[in-house]
Structure 1
Amino acid sequence: MNHVTLTEIPRIYTGIAEWAACSIYIAILKKKFHGAYLIIIMSIALFLQCFTQLVVGMFPKSLWIFGMLLAIGMMLLYFYFCCDLNWMNAGYYCVRSFILAEFAASLEWQLYYYIVQSTNNNHILLNGLVLFLVYGTVFFVIYLLERKHMYLQQERTTIRELIFVIVVGGTVFFVSNLSFVYANTPFSSQITREIFNIRTLVDFSGLTILYAYHILRREMQAKYDLDAMRNILQSQYAIYRKSGESIDIINRKYHDLKHQIAVLRSEEDSQKRQAFLDEMESEIKMYEAQNKTGNSVVDTILTSKSITCQKHNIELTCVVDGKLLNFMHVMDICTILGNALDNAIECEIQIEEQEKRLIHVEVLSKKDFIVLRFENYFEGKLEFEDNLPATTKPNKEYHGYGIKSIQYTAKKYNGWATINKRENWFELTVVIPANKE
């Protein structure tokens, strides 16, 4: 191996680095395939990435940029095909993987060049050993670091964020490889070791910048999600307070009506009026019985949602022991019951046949757990986005925060929430360990 070839990283090594960099992110992200299918796809991707690099190596220097874009395009397709990502998110991780691959390949070849120059040993086994140790160490460390700051659900990459990582990645790649393409510039070097140092250190700086930016994005997104859930919680609590005031007025009106009915019954009335008054009294008794659960907060929420259901011809049935929730904070009860019933009512309103508009609520005790189950009739196919039911709302930016706030509140009490669909029924179940105090 002569001096010229020793200063250039073999194309197949670059292809392996690019494939490995993509693969560690794919291992963390939500994937479309698993098991044997994923292994087959990753093996095919390794072959295609190395083949692409070998073909690009045959291009003239004037097509160097085009060749690199072609290799990056293969990485982008690898991400998009294997992971449950849109093109924006795939592009974001593609740029980060590309800089990681550049750093790993540069570091490995710089160390190998140093060993060869120091020992005059250029054996193929030495080459393979350095490749295995450096790639294995770099990618394993990055995997451990990235796993701590990876989104469990699909993140939202904006155009501005994607442009930023592309600019940073492009700048890092251009500066790190400047001396290989244009030797006669104020920022280039013609000394081999200096070229290696520039390339490796610039790639490492770019890798660090993108990693720090990713952590910042993660923290900002977590803060945004938490603020959104807090706003939903506050809004549910505000609705509860407002509903409580309205229901107090309704209670007084119902109380007055009972006295009015008693007066009317003492008079001589027609059978039609008598039947009408009987119906009014029956509705009052049903109202009173339905909202005496043993917890005033639960009573207020159920009464408020019952009125909403009546307006939209939705049949709401409840089997609720409100006393089981007495240990919970008022705002937490509002979050779970309010969001769950709002989602169910929103679904039922879209059903054209009014006799199918059905909602059933249960709050009961099972062994050492409190189970809150919300069921509503559902038509159509249930699709999921980020483990949440797909929204039909035009503004999808705030999709899923109602369910997320329920999950967050359940977790606060060491519980959990699950979503299930059986036949034509959508079911949301919240399980919370019972308070034994």
Structure 2
Amino acid sequence: MMNHIALTEIPRLYTGIAEWAACTIYVLNLKRKLKGPSLAAVMCAACLLQCGIQLAAGTFPKSLWIPGMLLAIGLMQVYFMITCEVTAGSAGYYCVRSFILAEFTASLEWQLYYNAVLSTQISEMWLNILVFFIVFGAVFGGAYFLERKHIRKETITLKELLFVTATGVTVFFVSNLSFVYSNSPFSSQITKEIFNIRTLVDLSGLVILFAYHILRQEMQVKYDLEAMRNILQSQYSQYRKSGESIEMVNRKYHDLKHQIAVLRAEQDSEKRLAFLDEMESEIRTYEAQNKTGNSVVDTILTGKSMTCQRHEIELTSVVDGKLLNFIHVMDICTILGNALDNAIECAIQIEEKEKRLIHVEVLSKKDFVVLRFENYFEGNIQFENNQPATTKANKEYHGYGIKSIKYTVKKYNGWVTIDTKDNWFKLNVVIPLPRED
């Protein structure tokens, strides 16, 4: 039978495997830099190195115990940085969470094996292997499916990283206190109690870190929704102001028509008559444009057309506004307003004015209404989280225009696609048409 002293120590090999497996749980759920054979090769190398470091650290004197642990944690950090598209802060965040998960798994597995040996008086290798696979499989399998629903690419702030690190350090210190100093109020000299303390403290730390992660994401979702509401309200306010301005312009043009009629009745030169003919033609052109069959769409397109004229942008549109009659006014403002604002913002940056081109289409295809927004762009567009990355210095509210569009379209069971080809940026919105009863 295995001696008592050996049973109180978790094998270093198990600790190394646990640390590697815990990191791999997050690597498989995060956005990765590597794929296929290259990812598999790095994973195998990381496993060998992690186990090798732990086995080597097991030969260190007790005075080098902490440096040995830091070396293992450092390798976990490097593993994240090589395989995943994460910042150093995000890698540190998931490194701490992985470390506590590994500590809990290794502690639980060895505690169950220790109790199994005591109760059965069997210390055969097959029992060791059986407990190992059951515990590691159950814990890491459950962690994988639990985490995959709550992991997304995100930026970890310094405060968040410090909180998670402080939590991880505290959990590790308290859970291992009995191995370093057994006479404190928070430690024990009894093996079973030492195992219980270590496992329960690690479990508590794991729950705290997971709860904090969920809370962070809920707060971020609330922040995103609030930002989108602000943008939506801003778009609606712009629509209202545009409507008032267009109504005033309509009255002015109406007055001009009467003035032209009076001037025509007067005796004047042919040149003046030609000038009046030109004015009347412009009025007819103005009255004919942006008559889509939806007053909200008319107002938005006319307002954005005026903006384009000021910036010498050519905006063309083929729009059947009646297709959007089933969409709420504010939702129309959100989709058209944000899409056109993004296109205008891009076009303004183009130096050659003849290349400042925007085209809008709203048409039906089978049982769907399709909204297409196309604009010419120069340079390269980088994508983050499946949407264009900003080049602005102030990134706080960047991306919420596209997010607002996606959020709004989702309400109608639709979807949004983005494509960039031959220097044309294409935003496509597809929404199912309501069924007629």
Q: Which TM-score applies when normalising by structure 2?
A: 0.96
TM-superposed CA distance for 1:125, in Å, is: 2.1
Deviation at 1:24, TM superposition (A): 1.2
C-alpha separation between the residues in 2 aligned to 1:353 and 1:278? 33
Residue 107 of structure 2 aligns with which residue?
106
List alignment gaps of at least 5 residues for structure 1: none
C-alpha deviation, 1:186, in angstroms? 3.0
**CA displacement at 1:181 relative to structure 2:** 1.8
Deviations 1:342-375 (A, max 9, x none): 0000000000001100000000011111000000
Whether the 8 Å contact between 1:290 and 1:318 is mirrored in structure 2 is: no
Partner of 1:364: 363
State the match for 1:16 in structure 2: 17
- CA drift of 1:265 comes to 3.9
Q: Name the structure 1 match of 2:136.
A: 135
CA distance in 1, matches of 2:263, 2:360: 37
**Aligned-residue offset at 1:3:** 2.5
**Compared with structure 1, are the counterparts of its residues 246 and 6 closer, same or farther at alpha carbon in structure 2 (3 Å cutoff)?**
same
How far did residue 275 of structure 1 move?
5.1
Q: Distance in 2 between matches of 1:196 and 1:95?
A: 21
Structure 2 residue 322 is the aligned partner of structure 1 residue 303: no
Give SS of 2:148's match: helix
Q: How many residues align?
A: 435
Instruction: Report if aligned partners of 1:229, 1:404 keep a CA contact under 8 Å in 2.
Output: yes
Alignment correspondent of 1:50 = 51
- Look up the equivalent residue of 2:358 and give its one-letter code: I
What SS is found at the alignment partner of 2:187? coil
Instruction: Quote how far apart the aligned CAs of 1:157 are.
Output: 1.8
Is the alpha carbon distance of 1:115 and 1:278 closer, same or farther for their aligned partners in structure 2, counting shifts above 3 Å? same
Q: SS of 1:209's equivalent? A: helix
Kindly indicate whether residue 133 of structure 2 is the aligned counterpart of residue 96 of structure 1: no
Aligned ranges 1:26-425 → 2 under 5 Å: 26-151=27-152, 154-267=153-266, 269=268, 273-274=272-273, 276-425=275-424
**Judging changes above 3 Å, is the alpha-carbon distance between structure 1 residues 284 and 102 closer, same or farther for their aligned structure 2 residues?**
same
> For residues 132 and 271 of structure 1, do their structure 2 counterparts lie closer, same or farther at Cα, with a shift above 3 Å needed?
farther
Q: Deviations over 1:133-165 (max 9, x none)?
A: 1000011112222223233xx223221111111
Q: Distance in 2 between matches of 1:265 and 1:311?
A: 31
Contact 2:87–2:155 (CA under 8 A) maintained in structure 1: no
Larger mean CA deviation between 259-268 and 33-42 belongs to: 259-268
Quick check: 2:311–2:348 contact (8 Å CA) kept in 1? yes
Q: 1:269, CA displacement in angstroms?
A: 5.0
Instruction: Supply the distance in 1 between the matched residues of 2:214 and 2:223 (Cα, whole angstroms).
Output: 14
**Distance change >3 Å, CA 280–CA 52, structure 1 → 2:** farther
Amino acid at match of 2:91: A
Change in Cα spacing, 1:218 to 1:278, as seen in structure 2 (3 Å) is: same
2-structure distance, mates of 1:335, 1:271? 49
The answer on whether the counterparts of 1:178 and 1:188 sit within 8 Å (CA) in structure 2 is yes
Query: Whole-Å Cα distance in 1 between the matches of residues 279 and 57 of structure 2?
Result: 83
1:8-28 CA-partner distances (Å, limit 9, x unpaired) = 111111111011111111222
Q: Does 178-187 or 359-368 show the bigger shift?
A: 178-187
SS, match of residue 148 in structure 1: coil
Aligned residues: CA RMSD: 1.6
